[in-house]
Structure 1
């Protein structure tokens, strides 16, 4: 299988979206700036993907599942959180079209799904090793993946 880890540049992928894997609770400026800059240089939209999970207390305290209105309220909070994180980047890069995408999925699943229609995926890496999420994305993404150390 071909390795999809790209060094210092992003392939533009025929103006297909640049996917940014972003944790809106712990955003990494270097990663976000790299993805916005890549989208600008490519003339492509930026697809910012924030994956989230239900709070542990919700899963354990509701034996019959989470009420739809509770799930919706939590999701609204995640959407607002991502919007707040992206606001200064939208101002810095006004020519980049941004699609903010909040998914109730594991991060690897959300990024792999987004990569099916993308020209590139940009993700961050803390530390020296690729964790299980990054390994899965790098090995299975449908486009080139850039891993930005942060």
Structure 2
């Protein structure tokens, strides 16, 4: 079976950016390239990667392969970022292995840095307290989150020793942390569970991310 990257075209004025990004990625990976129009779902069955518009209502849930969502920004803005970092959204307590694999492989193939972003929040006991969180408590909790992320990524860092990894722990909601990093990223990578509808982080990224977002099924 031919390994192919598919550009899913929905007929909007945004389709040129979708096709251009998919063609460039196919060239980078040495894979075949195909354009599929809405109404041709069978053409997605052998795809290694599907590229579609970020506002495609069905794009995330179509194939059992990674999907890259292209934001509605000028095409020149997307093509001007070939050497920028890959941003991985990762839950240090339960990392989505397929998404982490995809992010490391992509960073290595492009020869760029991988930024692993782990978003955290205060424990419920602190969040519900009417008093300000003491600085020493915050520092201790943050140190714990930093260690969790380091432990979670250690197997991949050992396997991909040639990939430069920056571990980035943020006291923010995941969507906000990733959206901010998308302004200077070449690609944001997140995992997708088995639920039928996108979760809140992915819903936010579809409208707020300023670079392509790769959604990798877990």
Give the structure-2-normalised TM-score.
Answer: 0.64
Q: Give the structure 2 partner of residue 33 of structure 1.
A: 101
Structure label with greater radius of gyration = 2
Q: Judging changes above 3 Å, is the alpha-carbon distance between structure 1 residues 106 and 9 closer, same or farther for their aligned structure 2 residues?
A: closer
For structure 2, list consecutive stretches of 5 or more residues without a partner in the other structure. 1-12, 15-52, 69-77
Is the CA contact (8 Å cut-off) linking 2:188 and 2:214 kept in structure 1? yes
Q: How does 1:45-64 map to 2 (within 5 A)?
A: 45-60=113-128, 62-64=129-131
Give the Cα separation in 1 of the matches to 2:206 and 2:105. 21
For structure 1, list consecutive stretches of 5 or more residues without a partner in the other structure. none
Is the CA contact (8 Å cut-off) linking 1:59 and 1:65 kept in structure 2? no
Please give the root-mean-square deviation of Cα atoms over the aligned residues, in Å. Answer: 2.1
CA-to-aligned-CA distance 1:92-130 (integer Å, 9 cap, x gap): 111110000000000000000111110000000112321
Q: How does 1:53-92 map to 2 (within 5 A)?
A: 53-60=121-128, 62-92=129-159
* Aligned positions, number: 149
Higher relative contact order structure (alpha carbons within 8 Å, sequence separation ≥ 6): 1
| Equivalent in 108, 112, 115 of residue 179 of structure 2 | 112
Give the structure-1-normalised TM-score.
Answer: 0.91
Q: Give the structure 2 partner of residue 136 of structure 1.
A: 204
